């Protein structure tokens, strides 16, 4: 069966520090991968998506970047965190969005202090 792993679950980082969030998918090949951010009490903001290794599309220009070094691995990074980067970060995957929608990970709660 397919599963998605996302870690860490919670993270408290000081302003100006780097960030690395990791997401891996098991049980499928060549998935489409997505990073979303959700501010407190708000909707889902698509940050990045990837259709293959090394292929990254950015939806919102910002302080973050994404990489896909392996087929089932998706990494969200920042060189210097801002207070506004705080939020709930969600990784998601699908093989066919219109057929099955997305499967989300359990999320990472990031607090920048």
- Answer yes or no: are the C-beta atoms of 25 and 4 closer than 8 Å: yes
Phi and psi based region of residue 95 (left: phi greater than 0; alpha: psi -120 to 50; beta: remaining) = alpha
Q: Least separation, in Å, of the C-beta of 63 and another protein?
A: 21
Residues that bind another protein (CB under 8 A): 6, 32, 41-44, 46, 49, 51, 57, 59, 88, 90, 92, 94, 96-107, 109
Residue 105 is given by DSSP the state: -
**With respect to another protein, which residue has the nearer C-beta, 13 or 58?**
58
Q: Least separation, in Å, of the C-beta of 64 and another protein?
A: 17
């Amino acid at each position: 069966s397919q599963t998605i792993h996302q870690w860490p679950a919670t993270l408290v980082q000081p302003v100006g520090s780097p960030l690395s969030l990791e997401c891996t998918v098991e049980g499928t090949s060549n998935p489409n991968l997505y990073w979303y951010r959700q501010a407190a009490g708000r909707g889902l903001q698509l940050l990045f998506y990837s259709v293959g290794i090394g292929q990254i599309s950015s939806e919102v220009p910002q302080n973050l970047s994404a990489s896909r070094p392996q087929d089932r691995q998706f990494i969200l990074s920042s060189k210097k965190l801002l207070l506004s980067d705080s939020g709930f970060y969600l990784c998601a995957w699908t093989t066919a969005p219109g057929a099955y929608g997305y499967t989300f990970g359990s999320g990472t709660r990031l607090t920048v202090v």
